[in-house]
Amino acid sequence: MFDKLNAQPQDKILKLMGAYKADVRKNKIDLGVGVYKDASGSTPIMRAVKAAEKQLWKNQETKSYVGLAGDPEFASSMFDLVLGTAVSPDHLAAIATPGGTGAVRQALELIKLAAPTATVWFSNPTWPNHLSIVTHLEINRSDYRYFDSKTGAVDFDGMQADIE
């Protein structure tokens, strides 16, 4: 069965993480996955996260399935935090997803159903697993410039020109 599969190119971010790990220099900088690390290179659990976990442990009464929209109280709080009163609650909806890439997959499947001829825009660079989902779903895709490797900064002018 597996002999029918083609090898996929190595993920650039994961390759970069491996190079970082193999580098023995003390003054190296981790340019891999965007997570916080302390001076020793560890990714500590933040106090706020520990407090939230403790509160869940103390107060959570069930692990029961909450439905497609997820936890309604969480969704409402996120709407308030992100949008405030800028958008009427009648125009908002939530959906629970199995993580970031799962959310991308579900959003792309919704786009494919609701607007099959739509074009989805991705930053360049982007995560290769997101592009494989677009390819698999046969969704039209365009790229916009995001990072200028010469300056090491966001290519705002290029991004704006591509999106216009």
Model confidence at 116: pLDDT above 90? yes
Per-residue pLDDT at 20 exceeds 90: no
pLDDT digits (tens, 9 = 90+) for 30-41: 767 777 888 787
pLDDT of residue 112: 96
DSSP state string for the chain: -GGGSPPPPPPHHHHHHHHHHH---TT----SS-----TTS--PPPHHHHHHHHHHHHH--------TT--HHHHHHHHHHHHTTSS-GGG------SSHHHHHHHHHHHHHHH-TT-EEEEEES--HHHHHHHHHHT-EEEEEE-EETTTTEE-HHHHHHHH-
Instruction: Give residue-wise pLDDT tens across range 57-98.
Output: 999 998 888 888 888 999 999 999 999 999 998 999 999 998
Round to whole Å and give the CA distance between 111 and 43.
35
What would the pLDDT profile of 127-152 be if each residue is shown by its tens digit? 888 999 999 999 999 999 999 889 98
pLDDT given at position 38: 81
